[in-house]
Amino acid sequence: GQNIDQPTEMTATEGAIVQINCTYQTSGFNGLFWYQQHAGEAPTFLSYNVLDGLEEKGRFSSFLSRSKGYSYLLLKELQMKDSASYLCAVLDSNYQLIWGAGTKLIIKP
Amino acid sequence: GAVVSQHPSWVICKSGTSVKIECRSLDFQATTMFWYRQFPKQSLMLMATSNEGSKATYEQGVEKDKFLINHASLTLSTLTVTSAHPEDSSFYICSARDHVASGDPGELFFGEGSRLTVL
């Protein structure tokens, strides 16, 4: 079966750095996405990785290792507004998006 | 980025009534739209894939007679929850891909979501 694992909840301090991991086992791979979702709102796109390596976009970076079936989202200089759920999703061989359950990130002052 | 508009944002209805939710792509044509349901503290669950001009493809376990999907144009898909019951109360979200503008094969643009409460 297809499976995406990410931690259920993480806590970090304002101004710090946090890394949210995602491991996946899917039938085929056409890229991995990270989305941010604030409570009661729709997800918003953060990043897309299809090749191995690190993609940096401002305070957010996303890393992919296809051989390990592993990705992480790195958030730097955390702000209170970063408190949200972060969803990892993989595009499989049929171009279907397989979603992780999301990681709820709690930022403390 | 592309814009997807969903309406209504909130709806409260009595048990047994039907509710229609609209999903529009405002600045691009979407041959395919996706309908998701999300229960509290859970991830998105794909309900069905809506295809313009043809029948929707439903995921396993989703009742197609209960969740009617119509994708009559390249910019509009509707989800109708028929004979709604309290267990149908959830957050319903639509999304679409802008194949022309997006460099990614799968970046999804989401509507704002519709929170349905069935009394």
Report the alpha-carbon distance of residue B91 to residue B70 in Å, rounded: 19
Q: Considering only CA atoms, which of B104, B65, B34 is closest in space to residue A99?
A: B34
Per-residue pLDDT at A92: 85
Tell which of B5, B10, B44, B110 to mutate to test the A interface (max A CBs under 10 Å): B44
Report the alpha-carbon distance of residue B113 to residue B96 in Å, rounded: 13
Residue A33: which H helix or E strand, with range? strand A32-37
CA angle A15, A16, A20 (to 5 degrees): 130
Residue B100: pLDDT above 60? no
CB distance A20 to A12 below 8 Å = no
CB contact under 8 A, A31 and B1: no
Q: What are the Cα distances from residue B43, in Å, to A27, A75, A98?
A: 20, 21, 11
Per-residue pLDDT at A95: 73
pLDDT tens string A52-100: 999 998 999 999 999 999 999 999 999 999 999 999 999 888 777 888 9
CB contact under 8 A, B110 and A33: no
Higher pLDDT, B75 or B31: B75
Min Cα separation B113/chain A (Å): 6
| Report for A11-15, B1-5, B25-29: range of highest mean pLDDT | A11-15
Chain B environment of A2 (Cβ under 8 Å): none
Chain B environment of A31 (Cβ under 8 Å): 104-106
How many residues belong to chain B? 119
Average pLDDT over residues B80-86: 96
Tell which of A36, A38, A41 to mutate to test the B interface (max B CBs under 10 Å): A41
